[in-house]
Amino acid sequence: QVQLVESGGGLVQAGGSLRLSCAVSGRTFSGYIMNWFRQAPGKEREFTAAISWSGGMTYYADSVKGRFTISRDNAKNTVYLQMNSLKPEDTAVYYCAVGRSIYDDAMDYWGKGTLITVSS
């Protein structure tokens, strides 16, 4: 059974940092892209960041570029999202997902999400 489990969420002040982790179990997704999406209160889910299987290619939403860094450790089957210079508008539930692209309708599996709250 495939599981994606996010951790590392919580409450942080604006300007602070957090690191999210997504542990994948059940199978190895060789060749797949690992993604982070987020959904703010009252808004639609949006793409945040993605990383290729090799880690050689990364993709970011313009809103997080330069502040967030995605990485992966295939030996641990884990993907990370380092979030720096957090802003109140980063408040959202962050979801880990795996698929063949960066589009949310093409994801094969999703985690249940972890809440990030950034206070001003």
pLDDT digits (tens, 9 = 90+) for 22-66: 999 998 888 899 999 999 999 999 999 999 988 889 999 999 999
CA dihedral 117, 77, 65, 54 (to 10 degrees): 180
pLDDT at 104 > cutoff 90? no
CB neighbours of residue 19 within 10 Å? 13
Going by C-alpha positions, the residue among 44, 20, 27 that lies closest to residue 98 is 27
Residue 69 contacts residue 12 (beta carbons within 8 Å): no
Q: Coil, strand or helix: which one is 90?
A: helix
